[in-house]
Structure 1
């Protein structure tokens, strides 16, 4: 049974007590309070967890992405560079799409569009994985009535079409001539501020990733032993706290210490 109380501010507080469950919300209009109370009672009758009004009002996939990011930031796990970039891309492509319209057909069309833009099988597979992550997060954490089955079906379809799968294996390394031309392009550009040429040489010498190079600190360098601490090195399971020390020497034609 729902109880409605008009507050001194003019807003309406609605309280729902049903089958031992209690939940309350505040609305500006009584009609909004009544609609929420009716849906909440139905959720309790179905054995579902009542949804907060703020969460229940989320309708688009972009809003679910923002919800996921906010939740992860609240627990100190804000998305890192790669995940943040992927979520931003999904928001551009699917952000305005109503969650109810995010069905198998729409996801397959998204996959075809991404492939036409140049996304490879592995990249597209990661995109589909993040879509499922956002939807399953909304369902598991907030009890929103979203379905993840269409994502699984779309992945199967895209895999059958050859658009999702393992990445293309690299069959060669860049030649020295290609590296020289690439480095010269940046070194001879008077408008170039970042020392990209030095970064390229250092990356080849150490096999470090871009994020690892750009996040290195002077305090991570041990001058006496010529060792460098790499923080949170990429790991398929968990890179948080996966710190490693590597020697800086010349073993690839480029001197990491130079």
Structure 2
């Protein structure tokens, strides 16, 4: 039985002889693995192929492309797969941290590299002994699992100062005074009433709204499901119904409810609120809404049907009841 010709470049003759001896040993023991593809491809080659063949079919593919572009811009992408080691992945991790990326973002990119290597091993015959980007071989930065618990703050009095109005009141006053108030005010109200994600709201069409039954169908950006791949029907509160009826397109009821790009929504929201409410993002509204809905849907399975979370652990990342609220329930 013949074996594919193997070749590899080394800096020293000693390293070359050691590698050749290892190859002969593997052949004689019947454990030979063809490393030709691993030697031929850099990590960047695999990323580009994955980006072309796999990423477009994934939910959240556009966001993934952004992460892959950052990895491709880094020197790690130039390493051949036979030379890639866990120390190289660790160095990439440290460069990301030095550039100010959040731990969760760094973990996302490390996991992407690990996923691509696993796919290349399974589907593209790129044989490497270990997946050096796995969490077992390359440690993840600390703090990536820290939950964000930002909620809208109630009205309060600061000693020696005037009353501070509730952040929700401040938020809607700021949105109402903005250039895109006609869309942003009802969109934000719907987010607070339904816990829908940014992309889910931006993809809503009038055919998804049934005001008689007070139900909204979420199909996601691709029309085939939300972020987790499921189509779900969400009940609409009175406030949510009123927000929908206030939209400019209510009389026509054709096309999308909110003809705005998801990224544009994020930027517009940030521009309006940054001077009025510190450290508040549009995604924080999903945390706020989930915590509010938990008062109505005390059964977590019912709550998950509304919010679209697939597991209790993910739901727990968005449900933040404060101690005062829990104490009131004991009274």
TM range (shorter): 0.5 to 0.7
Shift of 1:87: 2.2
Shift of 1:139: 1.7
Residue 152 of structure 1 aligns to a residue whose secondary structure is: coil
Shift of 1:51: 5.6
Structure-to-structure mapping, 1:102-121, within 5 angstroms: 102-121=84-103
Alignment partner of 1:38 is 2:9: no
Residue 245 of structure 1 aligns to a residue whose secondary structure is: strand
Structure-to-structure mapping, 1:79-158, within 5 angstroms: 80-94=61-75, 96-100=77-81, 102-146=84-128, 147-149=130-132, 151-152=134-135, 155-156=138-139, 158=140
Aligned to 2:148: 169
Q: Which has the higher contact order (CA 8 A, sep 6+)?
A: 2
Aligned pair partner of 2:194 in 195, 203, 206: 206
Distance 2:99 2:241 in 1: 36
Residue 105 of structure 1 aligns to a residue whose secondary structure is: helix
Residue 228 of structure 1 aligns to a residue whose secondary structure is: strand
Structure number with the higher strand fraction is 1
Distance 2:126 2:5 in 1: 16
- TM-score between both structures, scaled by the size of structure 1: 0.62
Distance 1:183 1:79 in 2: 28
Aligned to 1:48: 33
> Are residues 228 and 172 of structure 1, via their aligned partners in 2, closer, same or farther at CA, if it must alter by over 3 Å?
closer
Shift of 1:62: 2.3
Q: Deviations over 1:54-100 (max 9, x none)?
A: x86432x22211222334269x5576233333223322335743134
- Consecutive unaligned residues in structure 2, runs of 5 or more: 8-22, 154-166, 220-224, 247-331
8 Å contact kept, 1:206–1:256: no
Shift of 1:123: 2.6
- TM-score between both structures, scaled by the size of structure 2: 0.50
Shift of 1:129: 0.8
> Are residues 181 and 138 of structure 1, via their aligned partners in 2, closer, same or farther at CA, if it must alter by over 3 Å?
farther
8 Å contact kept, 1:72–1:79: no
Structure-to-structure mapping, 1:170-209, within 5 angstroms: 170-173=149-152, 175-180=167-172, 182-184=174-176, 187-188=178-179, 195-209=183-197
Residue 213 of structure 1 aligns to a residue whose secondary structure is: helix
